[in-house]
Amino acid sequence: MRKLHWTPYLLLLPSMIYLTLFFAYPMVASLQLAFRKDVQYLKLREEPESDAAETGTLAMQTAVAVLDRMRLEETLPNGRTRPIYWFRVQAEDTEGTTVEGWVNQENIFIESRTQSDTARIVTGEAAKEWTFDFVKRMVNDFRFGKALRTTILLIVLIIPLQFILAIVMGLVLQSGIRFTNFFLYIYAIPLGVSDLASGILWYSIFTQRGFLNSWLVELGLRERPFIFIQSGHENWMILAIVLAEVWRATSIVMVIVVAGLQGIPKDYIEAGQVFGANLWQRIRFIILPRLMPSLQVALILRTILAFQVFAVVVAITGGDVMTVLANETYRWYDPARFNNSNVAAAYAGFIMLLSLGISFFYLRTVRAQEERESQQ
């Protein structure tokens, strides 16, 4: 009889708990926030009684026609009585159907309980309903298209530069030249710098009185400082953001690349040298194919982080002249601005879907390439 091994299942349990608490539950809650809204509906009654059968429902602020009214007596806990009014009203519900029924005076606003012929629904029972209103509001926002284009542009510009630099840095560290540890420390310095600090640092370089303008004026290349960061100079602001992100996050890719390079047997590279392969040929036919799993992990990680770029953009541009998806998410959530967590959740869900879609595309592309190579 085959013995059952419980160890894998015991190891699976904490990972499932972690995914449930920190991934599945927040994701579901965020999507619910983006696609569900709190509403109030007033239920019309067949008789002027709170527990009478329902005849229809009306949304808040619906204007109604008063058909009839009834004055009843309500007994208070102290034994006394007070008058209470019920009104028979008629209006169209959310589906355009004409409904009528009795409502309590507490649920409508009416100028006169005895004479007015019209009223308005002001209170009801709280409920939640599924809606695409917040997604439509996000898509129709005039800043949505700009934020999406800027985010994609940054990804297209940043990721190739980071990977080229990271591979070069990894090859330098693996070459065994003198002062390798010194280069490692220099390369790793940006790992200790936050994205906000990186944005402030590069803003101080490109600002009107920053380091770059000071050097240009002192060298006599310009008579007066050039304003790089201002409305109308989007290209210069994109350049500043790209440089800040490449400087800050290339070290993360480098660490992954170095880990992958250490897994490549030196015999393969030495064999390439023996057979006369130059440096480019060794990189192309020996190193890169065996570095693909590490590059795949780094590519997925950097793409997801690039969709979330936020602090660097805000530090350099202020977030108003130029914006990205993560900045729009914060703007809609910020109580001092729009204070709309539903639209903010729609932005967050959109970023998540983009990240998942890109990750799936990367995984499928690499897997298809591996299958073609195995068939050959």
Q: What is the DSSP annotation of 30-88?
A: HHHHHHEEEEEEEEEESSSSTTSPEEEEEETT-EEEEEEEEEEEEE-TTS-EEEEEEEE
Same domain for 98 and 169, yes or no, is no
The torsion angle over the Cα atoms of residues 74, 75, 81 and 86, rounded to 10 degrees, is: 0
Q: Is residue 265 part of a domain?
A: yes
Same domain for 206 and 332, yes or no, is yes
From 94, 129, 164, the end of a domain falls on 129
pLDDT at residue 365, rounded to an integer: 77
Instruction: Give every CB contact of residue 328 below 8 A, 6+ residues apart in sequence.
Output: 141, 143, 144, 147, 347
Q: What is the DSSP letter of 21?
A: I
Find, among 35, 255, 56, 212, the residue nearest to 136 by Cα: 35
- Residue spans of alpha helices (H) in the chain: 7-19, 25-35, 133-140, 142-174, 180-188, 195-206, 211-218, 234-262, 266-274, 279-282, 288-307, 311-317, 325-333, 341-375
Instruction: Give every CB contact of residue 171 below 8 A, 6+ residues apart in sequence.
Output: 261, 283, 287
Q: Is residue 48 part of a domain?
A: yes
Find, among 39, 234, 7, 218, the residue nearest to 121 by Cα: 39
Same domain for 104 and 145, yes or no, is no
Same domain for 106 and 169, yes or no, is no
- Count: domains in the chain: 2
Same domain for 89 and 150, yes or no, is no
Same domain for 66 and 165, yes or no, is no
- Domain with 125, as residue range(s), is 40-129
Q: Is residue 370 part of a domain?
A: yes
Q: Is residue 224 part of a domain?
A: yes
Q: Which helix (H) or strand (E) holds 104?
A: strand 98-104
From 102, 129, 156, the end of a domain falls on 129
The amino acid at 224: R
Same domain for 264 and 182, yes or no, is yes
| Environment class of 36 (CB within 10 Å of its CB; exposed 0-12, middle 13-18, buried 19+) | middle
- CA angle 307/360/142 to nearest 5° reads 35
pLDDT at residue 184, rounded to an integer: 86
Q: Are 29 and 122 in contact (CB under 8 A)?
A: no
pLDDT at residue 179, rounded to an integer: 82
pLDDT at residue 81, rounded to an integer: 85
Find, among 100, 115, 114, the residue nearest to 62 by Cα: 100
Query: What's the CA gap between 15 and 9, in Å, rounded?
Result: 10
Residue whose entry in the numeric block shows the structure tokens 């400082």: 225
| 19 half-sphere exposure, CB direction, 13 A CA radius | 5
Q: Which two tokens stand for residue 12?
A: 């699976």
Intra-chain end-to-end CA distance of the chain, in Å: 41
From 78, 94, 129, the end of a domain falls on 129
10-residue averages of pLDDT along the chain (376 residues)? 68 84 82 84 89 88 89 82 88 87 89 81 82 91 93 93 92 83 87 88 88 86 85 88 92 90 84 82 85 87 87 88 91 87 92 88 73 62
User: Residues in the chain, how many?
Assistant: 376
Same domain for 140 and 206, yes or no, is yes
Q: pTM of this prediction?
A: 0.78
Same domain for 155 and 300, yes or no, is yes
Q: Which two tokens stand for residue 78?
A: 């102290």
Same domain for 93 and 216, yes or no, is no
Same domain for 155 and 214, yes or no, is yes
Same domain for 202 and 70, yes or no, is no
| 10 half-sphere exposure, CB direction, 13 A CA radius | 4
pLDDT at residue 375, rounded to an integer: 63
Residue whose entry in the numeric block shows the structure tokens 């109580």: 335
